[in-house]
Chain A
Amino acid sequence: MAKRRTGAQIIWDALEQQGVEHVFGYPGGAILPAYDALLDSRIHHVLVRHEQGAAHMADGYARASGGVGVAIATSGPGATNLVTGIATARLDSSPLVCITGQVPSKVIGTDAFQETDITGVTLPITKHNFLVTKTEDIAPTIRRAFHIASEGRPGPVLIDITKDAQQNEIDYEPDDSPIELPGRFRTGPLNPDDVERAVEILASAKRPLILAGRGIMMSSAGSRVLDLVEKTRIPVATTLLGIGGFPATHPLNMGMMGMHGEAWVNQAIQNADVLLALGMRFDDRVVGDPKKYATGALKIHLDIDPSEINKIIQVDVALVGDLSSSLDTLTPKLEIQDLSPWHHFIKDLKGDSAVRDIQALPDSGHLYAAHVINDLWRLTEGKALVATDVGQHQMWEAQYYKHDHPRKLITSGGLGTMGFALPAAMGAKVACPDEEVWVVVGDGGFQMTAAELSTCKQENLKVNIAIINNGYLGMVRQWQEFFYDKRYAATPMQNPDFVKLAEAHGLHGIRVEKRSEIEAAVGAARAEEGTVVIDFKVEREDTVYPMVAPGSTIETMIRRPTDTLVKTEKS
């Protein structure tokens, strides 16, 4: 039965129809009709402090839950503030629906107050976007947007809705017929010849490796990858975003590959004769110099996006499709040789890595970020959901917090967006209120979105924030150390008192300056009901090792010196 509804009411009706329970947003003139109708909706709205936070929260929500995250903003500056969050979601294939208000359709194109062509601005960074000027188009567009955001390779979709479309009233009847996207490239069943070829290549493999990427999360293929590895005993290396797709503590998980991966993992890749890439895209941070990447290996690439095939690395077999169903076809057919010589070879590659590991080195009274993360992993029994920001702390987290489950590490991999961690963690917490959520963030990145502390307070959101405070834009300082002759231009930072900052928000703050204080601080944070900020005053000029210089071949890594740890003056 059709009912009289305004466009604004239809927005919420249509979101409810998609199963939306939470949205993240910030009001303003052009979206006011929608906000007025919000009061009559079941949907809970989280009021952020900056629209970038709304987009990252929606992103964190999507990454933690596997569903679609929703962000709302007004026209003009509200919409442009979403842009960084949308670009972040795009590069990491995160499904978002962003709804923006737009000036009334009559004045579009006149440079009206707060008019920005946001569909134009976001055209290259959305999977698709829509400008809606008619009330009757709102509901069908929202349905399409959710479908597009989550089908195939997911991504962000933006819907720009004019104010008059929100205000007008129509006879509305919900529609739930299936959505057809004519002409979209569909991945059908795998080509049997390709499957055959992959099976053959793997049957003769003596030194095969699995490269595990975020596609495992997107396709919920974790248990299938585990089955594959249990059956074949092929060792696994993960990308940054693939962490958790295969248990970190599994004996066949070698760890992270690429720029800050373990040296021996990269060496294993260079020595492999077959690479089986699962839902990863041979990003430059993983590949280094593509011409010199695993030149002796035949490559089999499983991905849902045909435009990733042969983009960076020429492969020998491509199996384009949803990873879970591709593995369902492939795994049962595989007959693999005994790989124990290869396992031994890899073990030897490991060589002295363990003694170079910072965990084996004494702290002699200094506080090292790697110790903080390692202790955090131990104290939370590896079970926390951790959102990281971008920089040195992000790499240390990836190296030292061993995630055994998918969707437990949320990080901006492709865009490397500073300011992501806190809002993404908040979105994750909203999606999964029973998870213990930690934020691992640098002193620089924390200050980019620290305003969301007051959102934590207002929403009673409990996240634990570990600021890895080195008084530097540390990762940039590290590049200056290696590649710019230690000329530290614009990287030393003078920071506020983060404990007082927490307190000013009515939140608990703790300062940690010695390794011996970590356990008590983490315990206190976990016990506290509200959000807690821990200011870890770590070694200032510590360095993430090992490192592949950008564009180099991945086995030439800068290693941590065996004898010393950096000791800088305390600030």
Chain B
Amino acid sequence: MTEPSQHSRTFVVLVDDKPGVLDRVASLFRRRAYNIESLAVGRTDKPGVSHITVVMNADARTARLVEANLYKLVNVLDVQDLSNVPSVTRDLALIKVQAGHDKRAEDLQIEEVFRARIVDVSPNALIFEITGTEDKIDSLVDVLRPFGIVGLARTGRVSMVRATSEAVPSLEGVG
């Protein structure tokens, strides 16, 4: 347990898909003074089960407490701390930029390079859709900024353990 440094940790929490469950999870983070960086919620393949991805800044000890506290919520079915397991993380953003006809060629080039998609076009503006890691989205935002960003919406990170690995239950023992 000698991991003094704080860093971003991602938890995947499977919960009952019932009214108020997100409230319970969020309330836990609030009242234990854990600071959420990003939170994304959605359905899973299983009826009645929702998938929450929570990103927070924490050291190993706090992470373990978060996990243990999450398990105490009756509606929590499973918790995975993805810090030490191979996983895939994606973020989706919609970015609206000012762009007259003179800029269109450049826009198309950016779209190509970033594998983004232009999903809406109007005479003065475009909307880019991009899926990827946070870094990738951040750099697209940087590149688009000179054009004049007029709107930005991000989903927050969504994560999943890679198919080849199993998250290790980390509540056993306290070495």
Contact = CB atoms under 8 A, between A and B. Distances in A.
B37 to A, nearest CB: 21
B23 A123 contact: yes
Nearest to A188: B172
B72 A309 contact: no
A123 B74 contact: no
Interface stretch (B62-70, B112-120, B122-130, B151-159): B62-70
Contact of B172 (A153, A182, A191, A311): A191
B14 to A, nearest CB: 7
A310 B173 contact: no
Interface residues of B, number: 23
B65 A119 contact: no
Given A124-B31, A183-B78, A307-B68, A194 B61 contact: no
A317 B172 CA distance: 11
Contact of A123 (B24, B72, B76, B77): B24
Contacts of B14: 183
Given A123-B23, A123-B24, A310-B61, A184 B172 contact: no
A309 B1 CA distance: 13
Interface in B45-68: 61, 64-65, 68
Contacts of A483: none
B174 A318 contact: yes
Interface residues of A, number: 28
Nearest to A148: B74
Counting chain B CB atoms within 10 Å of each CB, which of A119, A191, A307, A314 scores highest?
A307
Contacts of A310: 1, 61, 64-65, 174
Interface in B131-175: 171-174
B4 interface: no
Contact of B71 (A119, A306, A309): A306
Interface of B: 1, 14, 20, 23-24, 27, 31, 61, 64-65, 68-69, 71-74, 76-78, 171-174
Q: Which 4 interchain pairs have the tightest Cβ spacing?
A: A183-B77, A185-B71, A307-B68, A306-B68
Given A123-B27, A183-B78, 7 more contacts: A128-B73, A128-B74, A153-B72, A183-B76, A193-B173, A305-B68, A311-B65
29 contacts: A120-B23, A123-B20, A123-B23, A123-B24, A124-B31, A127-B72, A128-B73, A128-B74, A131-B20, A148-B74, A182-B77, A184-B71, A185-B68, A185-B171, A191-B172, A191-B173, A305-B72, A306-B71, A307-B65, A307-B71, A309-B64, A309-B68, A310-B1, A310-B174, A314-B1, A315-B174, A317-B174, A318-B173, A318-B174
